[in-house]
């Protein structure tokens, strides 16, 4: 298969873009025609960003299909023997695994049958909490095969976070492993699930895959082994598992993400639009050529893994490499060893990883076989110029274009990005919108800025097929969060600058969402967790610039008593770890007596942000402060810390 809709020149891009704006329905229908459908759609698009039921977004109305037939079955006749997934284990001494399209298909069908045997039906929600092993995508695809909705929870989240997500989606089944290897650590996934399930009455079945041989307790009537269940399917004679025929708008998955309020939102993606959009953007942004080895270093627990380890690449018949471990183990040369070992052509990673590897020095890059690399990509946060240059020079050897891809869990796929080999690059710019994407930059009054040159908040004014449809169980919240701030527009939560030539530079979140090592975490979520500690009266969390993580977490905390600050600090970190997960642990905790509040009782985070940055002047307008002496006190405390 080659890709008839692959953009090869800048002129191609301009033409495609123009058509996607002038005639979006025809534009997407032509692309959709290259997929496998049980029944063609009646109409391409129905939408409303503004009315009382907004958002309403439906693509390929009444079209019928199954995404796994597009990711697996349709590739079998001519690339059944081609690797679909190459899996590199945590420990480089352990043998890697290769699953051809045929093998992946067989395993997905088999496990889909396991799910059926365990009572899973179309529309049921299945929580998946696993490490980065091939059984994770197998479990996801098996869900999609039978029409169940997967909800993958990142392996770094705590029992409490899992429980919240399971309860919000009312999952009936959990798929997990005994444990996961990450660097020199062994994370006891099953026992974390056990802790979570104490609070989850809807879960009737837990399927456990053996990875680490960590001892686990299996609860009779609830827990079963993946391997035993497969044997049952074999004794049933491995019945064929036909794909459930799904409506274009049937839900595919829920993925929880942080916003500015305390409770994570279940972002819902549906079937056809998501598939077509991830495929189109994968093929174009990375300029993927059939047979190439593509390596995305993300964890499948985040949207990048969903769209660009799994659905985008597999729907395109690509070879996707997944890595179980971490970039710095056994040493900081691991990514480059993997590139050499598997002859990787396209590498998609995150600025935080680049900065961390950069800090380890060039010795880890020396003598690595990087000559197969052709395209590099970055995602998750703005890539600073220094990291960009290092990546370009030392990894890409100035031969490989870098695609700085801006997008979000909600957008489903890449939105603003260079197209590799096509769009002229500019460090720290995500450059131009992809075909189908119509950005708008808003001013302080909430109006769209008409000129090309613009600075303001980034919105999107027309639907694209990959966009989310709602937040699970709470459509109202979806409207309030994303569509109320600028009526008629989807609000991204990001700020941006648009230059004279139309190039976009994304400047980061304008709401109370932090981006820590590329992970989205709401300040309110962290505050809620800190406040659970029995000695804590109140807390305020802000971000501060961090050389490796991009943003670090700074917490200002008021305690009832503070006999041993060091001990309390450790206890608070432990609390946050338990409530959310280690990724949300504050880098700095400053104990304070008061927080700077306005007369109306709002915390003035702007001032706290400055103090966290170490900036002690220029607080701007402070006239609404109730008690200015509070700021003075916090400043003194901050100076005493550093
Ligand atoms: C895909 C993903 C989304 C937030 C987004 C923005 C930031 C992502 C970026 C970027 C600048 C880029 N972000 N890519 N900022 N340049 N290339 O990361 O999804 O976890 O939902 O995060 O990440 O702030 O709003 P998600």
Fold matches, 10-65+250-436+459-509 and 529-641 = no
The whole-angstrom separation of Cα 594 and Cα 584 is 23
pLDDT averages per 10-residue partition of the chain, 642 residues: 92 98 98 98 98 96 98 97 98 98 98 98 98 98 98 96 97 98 96 98 98 97 98 92 97 93 91 98 98 98 98 98 97 98 98 95 97 97 94 98 98 98 97 98 97 98 98 97 97 97 95 92 94 94 95 96 94 96 96 90 90 88 86 92 76
Ligand 1 neighbour 303 (Cβ under 6 A): yes
pLDDT at 348: 98
CA dihedral 280, 282, 283, 286 (to 10 degrees): 140
Distance 411 CA to ligand 1 centre (A): 10
Contacts of 342 (CB under 8 A, 6+ apart): 86, 88, 96, 293, 295, 321
The whole-angstrom separation of Cα 340 and Cα 334 is 10
Q: CA geometry: angle at 68 spanning 45 and 204, to 5°? A: 105
* Listed residue (196, 117, 183) closest to 153, CA to CA: 196
pLDDT at 259: 83
Please say whether the beta carbons of 605 and 527 come within 8 A. no
Q: Does the interface predicted TM-score (ipTM) exceed 0.90?
A: yes
Ligand 1 atom closest to 378 (CA): 17
Please say whether the beta carbons of 64 and 37 come within 8 A. yes
Q: Which residues lie across from 551 on neighbouring strands?
A: 545
Ligand 1 neighbour 506 (Cβ under 6 A): yes
Give the closest residue (by CA) to ligand 1 atom 17: 406
Ligand 1 neighbour 257 (Cβ under 6 A): yes
Alpha-carbon distance values, 356 to 122, 322, 547 (Å): 43, 20, 9
Distance 407 CA to ligand 1 centre (A): 5
Q: What are the φ/ψ torsions at residue 118 (nearest 5 degrees)?
A: -95, 20
| 544 HSE (CA, 13 A, CB side) | 19
| Residue listed under structure tokens 């399930």 | 197
Q: Return the domain boundaries, the chain.
A: 10-65+250-436+459-509, 70-247, 529-641
Distance 408 CA to ligand 1 centre (A): 5
Torsion region of 243: left, alpha or beta (phi above 0 gives left; psi -120 to 50 gives alpha): beta
Structure tokens at 158: 């705590």
pLDDT at 2: 81
Tell me: the pLDDT tens digits for 576-590? 999 999 999 999 999
Ligand 1 neighbour 505 (Cβ under 6 A): no
The whole-angstrom separation of Cα 364 and Cα 368 is 8
Ligand 1 neighbour 403 (Cβ under 6 A): no
pLDDT at 1: 54
Alpha-carbon distance values, 150 to 70, 192, 252, 271, 469 (Å): 18, 19, 7, 12, 16
Asked if the 529-641 domain carries CATH number 3.90.480.20, the reply is no
Architecture of domain 70-247: 3-Layer(aba) Sandwich (3.40)
Asked if the 10-65+250-436+459-509 domain carries CATH number 3.40.50.12780, the reply is yes
The whole-angstrom separation of Cα 509 and Cα 512 is 7
Ligand 1 atom closest to 410 (CA): 21
Q: Which residues of 119-136 are buried (b: 16+ CB within 10 A; e: fewer)?
A: ebeeebbbbbbbbbbbbb
**Does a cis peptide bond (omega within 30 degrees of 0) precede residue 95?**
no
Tally of CB atoms within 10 A around 407:
26
Distance 590 CA to ligand 1 centre (A): 28
Structure tokens at 248: 């274009």
The whole-angstrom separation of Cα 636 and Cα 590 is 11
From 506, 507, 511, 513, mutation site for ligand 1 pocket: most ligand atoms within 8 A of C-beta? 506
Ligand 1 neighbour 358 (Cβ under 6 A): no
* Listed residue (350, 167, 165) closest to 267, CA to CA: 165
From 515, 519, 525, mutation site for ligand 1 pocket: most ligand atoms within 8 A of C-beta? 515
Tally of CB atoms within 10 A around 384:
17
């Amino acid at each position: 298969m080659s890709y008839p809709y692959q953009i090869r020149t800048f002129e191609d891009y301009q033409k495609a873009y123009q058509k996607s704006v002038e005639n979006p329905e025809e534009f997407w229908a032509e692309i959709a025609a290259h997929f496998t459908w049980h029944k063609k759609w009646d109409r391409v698009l129905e939408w409303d960003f503004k009315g009382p039921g907004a958002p309403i977004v439906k693509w390929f109305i009444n079209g019928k299909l199954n995404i796994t037939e597009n990711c697996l079955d349709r590739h079998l006749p001519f690339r059944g023997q081609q690797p679909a997934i190459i899996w590199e284990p945590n420990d480089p001494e352990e043998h890697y695994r290769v699953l051809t399209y045929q093998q992946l298909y067989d395993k997905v069908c088999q496990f889909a049958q396991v799910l059926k045997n365990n009572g899973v039906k179309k529309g049921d929600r299945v929580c998946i909490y696993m490490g980065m092993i091939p059984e994770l995508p197998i479990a996801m695809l098996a869900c999609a095969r039978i029409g169940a909705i997967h909800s993958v929870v990142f392996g770094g989240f705590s029992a409490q976070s899992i429980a919240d997500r399971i309860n919000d989606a009312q999952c009936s089944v959990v798929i997990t492993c005994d444990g996961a290897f990450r660097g020199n650590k062994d994370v006891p996934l099953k026992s974390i699930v056990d802790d979570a399930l104490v609070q989850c009455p809807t879960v009737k079945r837990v399927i456990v895959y053996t990875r680490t041989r960590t001892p686990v307790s299996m609860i009779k009537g609830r827990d079963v082994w993946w391997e035993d269940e497969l044997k049952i399917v074999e004794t049933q004679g491995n019945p064929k598992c036909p794909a459930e025929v799904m409506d274009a708008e049937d839900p595919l998955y829920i993925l929880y993400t942080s916003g500015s309020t305390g409770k994570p939102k279940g972002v819902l993606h549906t079937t056809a639009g998501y598939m077509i959009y991830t495929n189109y953007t994968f093929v174009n942004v990375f300029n993927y050529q059939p047979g190439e080895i593509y390596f995305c270093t993300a964890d499948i627990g985040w949207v990048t893994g969903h769209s660009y380890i799994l659905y985008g690449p597999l729907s395109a018949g690509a070879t996707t490499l997944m890595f179980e471990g971490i970039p710095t183990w056994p040493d900081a040369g691991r990514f480059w060893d993997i590139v050499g070992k598997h002859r990787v052509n396209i590498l998609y990673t995150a600025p935080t990883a680049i900065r961390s590897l950069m800090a380890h020095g060039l010795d880890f890059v020396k003598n690595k076989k990087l000559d197969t690399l052709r395209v590099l990509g970055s995602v998750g946060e703005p890539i600073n110029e220094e990291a960009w240059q290092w990546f370009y020079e030392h990894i890409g050897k100035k031969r490989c274009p870098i695609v700085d891809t801006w997008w979000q869990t909600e957008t489903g796929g890449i939105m603003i990005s260079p197209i590799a080999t096509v769009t002229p690059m500019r460090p720290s710019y995500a450059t131009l919108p992809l075909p189908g994407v119509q950005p708008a930059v808003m001013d302080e009054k909430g109006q769209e800025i008409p000129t090309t040159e613009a600075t303001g908040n980034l919105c999107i004014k027309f639907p694209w097929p990959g966009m989310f449809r709602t937040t699970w169980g709470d459509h109202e919240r979806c409207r309030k969060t994303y569509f109320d701030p600028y009526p008629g527009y989807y609000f991204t939560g990001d700020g941006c600058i648009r230059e004279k030539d139309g190039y976009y530079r994304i400047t980061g979140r304008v709401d109370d969402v932090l981006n820590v090592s590329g992970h989205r975490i709401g300040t309110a979520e962290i505050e809620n967790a800190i406040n659970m500690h029995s000695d804590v009266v109140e807390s305020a969390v802000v971000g501060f610039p961090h050389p490796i993580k991009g943003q670090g977490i700074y917490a200002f905390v008021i305690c009832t008593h503070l006999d041993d600050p060091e001990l309390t600090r450790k206890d608070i970190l432990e609390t946050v770890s338990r409530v959310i997960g280690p990724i949300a642990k504050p880098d700095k905790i400053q104990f304070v007596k008061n927080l700077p509040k306005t007369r109306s009782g709002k915390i003035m985070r702007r001032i706290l942000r400055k103090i966290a940055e170490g900036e002690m002047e220029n607080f701007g307008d402070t006239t609404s402060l109730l008690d200015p002496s509070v700021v003075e006190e916090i400043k003194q405390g901050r100076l005493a810390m550093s």
